[in-house]
Amino acid sequence: MAERIDGKAMARAMLAETTAAVADLEARGISPALAVVLVGADPASEVYVGRKVRECEKAGIRSIEHRLAADTDEDALIALIDEMNVDGAIHGILIQLPLPAHINASRVLDRITPGKDVDGFHPVNVGRLSTGTGGLVPCTPLGIMKLLDSVIEDYRGLDAVVIGKSNIVGKPVAMLLLEREATVTVTHIETKGLPDIARKADIIVAAAGAPHLVRGYWVKEGAVVIDVGITRVTDHDGHTKIVGDCATHELEHARAVTPVPGGVGPMTIACLLANTVSAARATLESEPA
Ligand code: NAD
C-alpha cells in the first residue's frame, strides 16, 4: 500500500521552525514582515490572501495588506512597489495573482526587487534557479521538493517526469530536480504518449490541473507521485470538492503519494513564510558587522 506523504504535518513542522527563526531574528533586531497586495476582489484570491495573512500571524511575521480597487492604475501599483522596495521594514512583497486584465503582470512582477521577491517569479531569481546559484525559489516547487525529500535520499540518476510546464510549478520544479541530478522529462498538453513516458518514471510530479489525469497504469511499481493539481468540482449532489491530478485510489502500487487536499497545498504557504524569513535574514547578513 502506498505511503501517504502528510503535507499538513510537514507544513506544521516547518511553521514551528519558522516561528523559532522569527524569534531569533527579533532578538537580533529584525521583525520579519511580508507585504501582500490584492488588486480587486476575486473570491479565490481573497481566500488565499486571508490564509497567508493568518499563517504569518501565527508565525509572528508582521503582514501588511494592501487591498486595492479592481480599477487600480498600473502605474499606481508600480509606485506602491517602488515604495515597498526601499522600505527597510518590509522583507517580502507578494502580489496576489491573477491581476486584472488591464494590468501587465510581468511588468509589475519584474518591478519587485529580487531580494524581496518571496514568490521567486522575478527573472533574476528564475535565472539564479536555472544556474543553481541561490536566490528565492518559488514556494510550490520548494514545497514539492521538501515532500520528495521526506521519502527520497539520493536523486542521482532517478527518472523524474514533470507533467505541466508552467513558470510557477512545472519549469522550476524541473530545475530543482535537475540540481539533484535526476534525469528530468518535462511534459505538457502537446506531449505524445504521456502514459508511456510517465510509466518509466521513479518520480512523477503532476501539475496539469487536469482531474485524475494520472491513472494507475501510468505509474510504475514503487514510484513516488506528487499531486499538485487543484480542481474544484461539483458532484451530483451539488457538493463542491477539490480534486487532484492523480487517480490516487489506483496508485496503491506506488511507493508514496501526496493526498489532495493535504499534500502540496499546506507546504506552499509554509514555504512562503520560510522565504520571508530567508529574505529578512539576508538583510542582516548584508549589513556591515
Ligand atoms: P497552468 O495552467 O499554468 O499549466 C498547466 C500545465 O499543464 C501546462 O503546461 C499544460 O500544457 C499542462 N497540461 C494541462 N493539461 C494537460 C494534460 N491533459 N496532459 C498533459 N499536460 C497537461 O497551471 P499551473 O499554474 O502550473 O497549475 C497546475 C495545477 O496545480 C493547477 O491545478 C493548480 O491549481 C495547481 N497548483 C497548486 C498549487 C498548490 O499550492 N497546491 C500551487 C500552484 C498550482
Q: Is residue 20 part of a domain?
A: no
Residue 208, domain CATH: 3.40.50.720
Please state whether the predicted TM-score (pTM) of the whole model is above 0.85: yes
Same domain membership, residue 257 and residue 173: yes
Got the DSSP string for 218-273?
GS-TT-EEEE---EEEE-TTS-EEEE-SB-GGG-TTSSEE--SSSSHHHHHHHHHH
156-204 pLDDT tens trace: 999 999 999 999 999 999 999 999 999 999 999 999 999 999 999 999 9
Same domain membership, residue 101 and residue 31: yes
Q: Is residue 285 part of a domain?
A: no
| Structural domains in the chain (count) | 2
Residue 90, domain CATH: 3.40.50.10860
Instruction: Give the residue whose CA is nearest to atom 24 of ligand 1.
Output: 166
Same domain membership, residue 110 and residue 143: no
Residue 192 known to be catalytic: no
Q: Is residue 101 part of a domain?
A: yes
Burial environment of residue 210 by CB neighbours within 10 A (0 to 12, 13 to 18, 19 or more): middle
189 assigned ligand-binding residue: yes
10-53 pLDDT tens trace: 999 999 999 999 999 999 999 999 999 999 999 999 999 999 99
Residue 119 known to be catalytic: yes
Query: Catalytic residue among 117, 119, 202, 227, which?
Result: 119
* Domain span including residue 68: 27-114
Quickly tell me which residue has 537580533 as its cell. Answer: 28
166 assigned ligand-binding residue: yes
